Every structure is written in C-alpha cells, then in structure tokens.
C-alpha cells in the first residue's frame, strides 16, 4: 500500500514538473523558468520562479515565511496531541 502511494506521489511530482516547464516556456520564454520541488522538511510542493541567467529565486510559492509558520503550527499541533495522549 505504501509503495503504491509513493509511486502515485512520484507521478504527481513528475507531472507537475512537466507542466511547470511548459508553462514556464509559454509565459517567460528564456528569461525565467518555473521550478517545482518538494520541501524536504514538510514534504509539500514548492513552486519557484527563477531567473534563468543568474539562478536567483524571484518568487516562491508558498513563501519561505509561510512555510516556517506552517512548520511551527505542525510542531505545536504535535505537542498538543502528545499532551492529550
């Protein structure tokens, strides 16, 4: 069961990356690119608009600040569950 779920998640990730590459070319041409990755800490998908020449991240969704808040909420919710147990 776990292996099937992992295969589905991998397919989803690859599909998102392919669609991001297509959209990137249509919207930005060669100047910028859209990258989709999975955050190693949360496992959530992150989309970044990157300058093709410099490699600088121009914009990220969700922003780093929101990711940190989300991580903190996950930690707090884990603490609450541990206290209730």
What pTM was computed for the model?
Answer: 0.67
Structure confidence at residue 42 (pLDDT): 80
pLDDT, average across residues 60-71: 87
Cα–Cα distance, 19 to 69 (Å, whole number): 28
pLDDT given at position 83: 64
Comparing CA positions, the residue from 23, 45, 26, 43 lying closest to residue 34 is 23
H/E stretch holding 59 reads strand 57-61
Q: Cis peptide before 62, with omega less than 30 degrees from 0?
A: yes
Positive or negative, the CA dihedral 67, 53, 19, 26 is positive
Q: Could you read off the pLDDT of 8-64 as tens digits, one per residue?
A: 888 988 898 888 888 888 888 888 999 988 888 888 889 999 999 999 999 999 888
Residue 48: its pLDDT value, please? 92
Query: How many CA atoms lie less than 13 Å away from 66 in the CB half-sphere?
Result: 8
């Amino acid at each position: 069961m776990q292996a099937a779920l992992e295969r589905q998640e991998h397919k989803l990730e690859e599909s998102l990356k392919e669609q991001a590459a297509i959209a990137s070319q249509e919207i930005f041409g060669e100047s910028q690119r859209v990258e989709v990755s999975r955050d190693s800490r949360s496992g959530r998908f992150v989309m970044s608009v990157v300058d093709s020449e410099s490699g600088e991240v121009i914009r990220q969704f969700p922003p780093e600040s929101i990711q940190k808040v989300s991580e903190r909420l996950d930690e707090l919710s884990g603490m609450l569950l541990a206290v209730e147990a």
